[in-house]
A and B are shown apart, each in its own frame.
Chain A
Amino acid sequence: MNKYYLDYLEQLEAEAIHIMREVAGQFQKPALLFSGGKDSITLVRLAEKAFRPGKFPFPLVHIDTGHNFPEAIQYRDELAERLGEKLIVRHVEDTIKKQNLSEPTGRYASRNGLQTYTLLETIEEFGFDACIGGARRDEEKARAKERIFSVRDEFGQWDPKRQRPELWNIYNGRITLGENVRAFPISNWTELDVWNYIKREEIELPNIYFTHERECLVRDGKLMATSDFIHRDPEEEIVTRNVRFRTVGDMTCTAAVESIAYDIDSVIAEIVDSKISERGATRIDDKLSETAMEDRKKGGYF
């Protein structure tokens, strides 16, 4: 084999590091949006590779809906502590009070949509001009068309028609006052790429990504973890199953999948065999309409 050969994960890693450094080089006040999910955990590892032995040139920012899995929150705090990096947490709860927003009600009630308000408020509070996020283009068809540097107006809105052409590996981060940029270093990674990278890098994940016994209610054929945040209809059955989470979002809109995968290798094997897409298997929020993601992104969602 050629001595100068990078395999696909090394190429993806090199590209992601380059993008992160472009953010650091082009912006005055960037931030890394950290959710405690595997994609943002991967971003943190990439940031270590990009900036060590220096500090990250941005804080980690978590928009906490108050409905997160406690395991993810604990992981978040321990990680920031271990890395010695700054963590900023802002709560959707506070935005609801401050802006007098109405809390969604009913069966599919979720604060997922309200996150946008808190995110925009946080961007304004700290004057962030760029937010690094862990979105991937393979997740959803609206994401498939988004640029790596995605310019948003002052309402955080994505306008697919106003996107800048993105050529070679030149990223245009020039913005006018009030605009900001969402930057997506792992745009070109798939779910499987992320898992293979986590394996290669021996990254520790929150334990809810692996099989555990959990009480769930059955909703529309999906398993939802029972919690104080989820409103149960009387006819919805409660079961105890061996499950894991394929994505980790809010407890109100992230479903579990039945699984006996107990380590990274068995998770990878399970994904390779899977017949259902990542968001299709686990996201209640995308099921509401065919264009749910496109609509949310235009409204300033991540």
Chain B
Amino acid sequence: MDILRFITAGSVDDGKSTLIGRLLYDTNQIYLDQIEAIETSGRVNEDGNIDLSLLTDGLKAEREQGITIDVAYKYFNTPRRKFIIADAPGHIQYTRNMVTGASNSNLSIILVDARNGVQEQTRRHSIISSLLGIPHLVICINKMDLVGYDEAVYNQIVEDYKQFSKKLHSKDITFIPVSALKGDNIVTRSTEMDWYNGPNLLEHLEQVPVSSDFNLTCPRFPVQYVIRPHTHEHHDYRGYAGKVISGVYSKGDKVIVLPSGQTSTIKSVEMGGKELEEAFAPMSVVLQLEDDVDISRGDVIVRQEDNLDVSKEFEALVCWMNAKALRPGAKLLLRHNSTETRAIVREIQYKVDVNTLDNIEDVDQVQLNDICRVQIRTATPLLLDKYENNRANGGFILVDETSYTTVGAGMVASIVHESELNYMI
């Protein structure tokens, strides 16, 4: 049994809440007292059935103001898998929420209303999923009951979507005709659509391969914390605690510590005081090295043979998440894995139209929910990967220097390495 993390994007109008409610209800994750709470609050459908969308209802603060604040997380499991749903509101002004939910997801469920077909919102949700590197997309063509379960309607939407999706990075795209309200092809096979031979939604979610979504080829180990017990028994013990965010580490690996450049060999790989043969993503472990090197939080341990280099200059796609606009020259804090450094946004190159994936040039400021490509320089050198090559090491956040709130999410697009800079000088 493993974990699938997925995001559902869309608004109540698309039937998103009903879809989630249906998944939870039909997999028996909804308890009687939760149903009772909805019934006693007096919000039941006209036909007397409980409204499944209310199972995902939000906070009092949201109901009072008629807004959806942020991403809500829901959980369910089947004997095959544990599922974590990031439920993000999908209105146009909520790009930031969708980016947040998408950052940790392996799969994105995109709802299309069968009556309306592919809309601007469909394209936007798909593009954001693709930009955030989500490998698997599921296009649920919903409300099939309202178009008479018509195969031709379904085929036309699939055709339209395929035309559009050629420009997406996500290559694993699955189409499923459903009715969340009636339960068709969600957890059980629809009896109304004999013409559809694929899996129902839950079957697909249970089967989609996710273990290969972890990057096992680029060893990256950012040190979070140094364990020094100073006890009689462990007098000289020095363990580097961190998470293997990608790749594999074994005892005996020749390693280099960046940015300092000190080299050593892995003496042991440990977890909870027990020695392991090797560690791989996404394990949290402790590494001990043969040599007494000076390592602290923020350093990264990588393989010597990979000849990696740090950099202070790079370009990135940034989703801006603050009401105060981003302008060229902005100074911010940048947090990348366990490193925090000061950063300056040197140039805003263009804005991405999230409805078309076109570039908008000549931008002098970036507003809340905009996605833009920028040039960044940092005060300390970072070991970066391009986001598309290694999601685990290509993402960073931008933090306001005075309020300390998170104001941007960045994905590294291209890197100018320190060694290249030296050549240029």
Contact = CB atoms under 8 A, between A and B. Distances in A.
B72 interface: yes
Nearest to A196: B1
A182 interface: no
Contacts of A49: 271-272, 284
Nearest to B57: A141
Contacts of A291: 59-60
B397 A167 contact: yes
Interface stretch (B115-123, B164-172, B234-242, B412-420): B234-242
Interface in A1-60: 2, 4-8, 10-15, 17-18, 21-22, 24-25, 48-55, 57
Interface stretch (A96-104, A170-178, A209-217): A170-178
A275 B404 contact: no
Interface of A: 2, 4-8, 10-15, 17-18, 21-22, 24-25, 48-55, 57, 137-138, 141-142, 144-145, 160-170, 172, 174-176, 187-188, 190, 192-193, 274-277, 280-281, 290-291, 294-295
Given A22-B338, A145-B69, A277-B34, A193 B82 contact: yes
4 tightest Cβ-Cβ pairs between the two chains A and B: A280-B33, A174-B404, A17-B284, A277-B31
B409 A165 contact: yes
Given A14-B283, A193-B82, A187 B41 contact: no
Given A170-B395, A281-B33, A291-B60, A11 B2 contact: yes
B259 interface: no
B33 A277 contact: yes
B273 interface: yes
A258 B31 CA distance: 17
Main secondary structure, interface of A, reads loop
B70 A5 contact: no
Given A137-B73, A145-B70, A174 B399 contact: yes
Interface in B324-363: 333, 335-338, 340
A49 B270 CA distance: 10
B406 interface: yes
Given A165-B97, A190-B82, 16 more contacts: A4-B214, A5-B211, A18-B224, A21-B224, A25-B338, A51-B227, A141-B59, A160-B69, A167-B397, A169-B243, A170-B337, A190-B75, A274-B31, A276-B31, A277-B31, A290-B41
Main secondary structure, interface of B, reads mixed
Interface stretch (B98-106, B153-161, B200-208): B98-106
Contacts of B60: 290-291, 294-295
**Count class of interface residues, chain B:** 35 or more
B321 interface: yes
Nearest to A165: B100
Interface centre among B37, B225, B228, B396 (most CB of A within 10 A): B225
Contacts of A274: 31
Contact of B77 (A25, A162, A190): A190
B125 interface: no
Interface centre among B71, B75, B297 (most CB of A within 10 A): B75
B295 interface: no
A6 B59 CA distance: 34
A220 to B, nearest CB: 12
A11 B213 CA distance: 14
Interface in B19-47: 31-34, 37, 41
A166 B403 contact: no
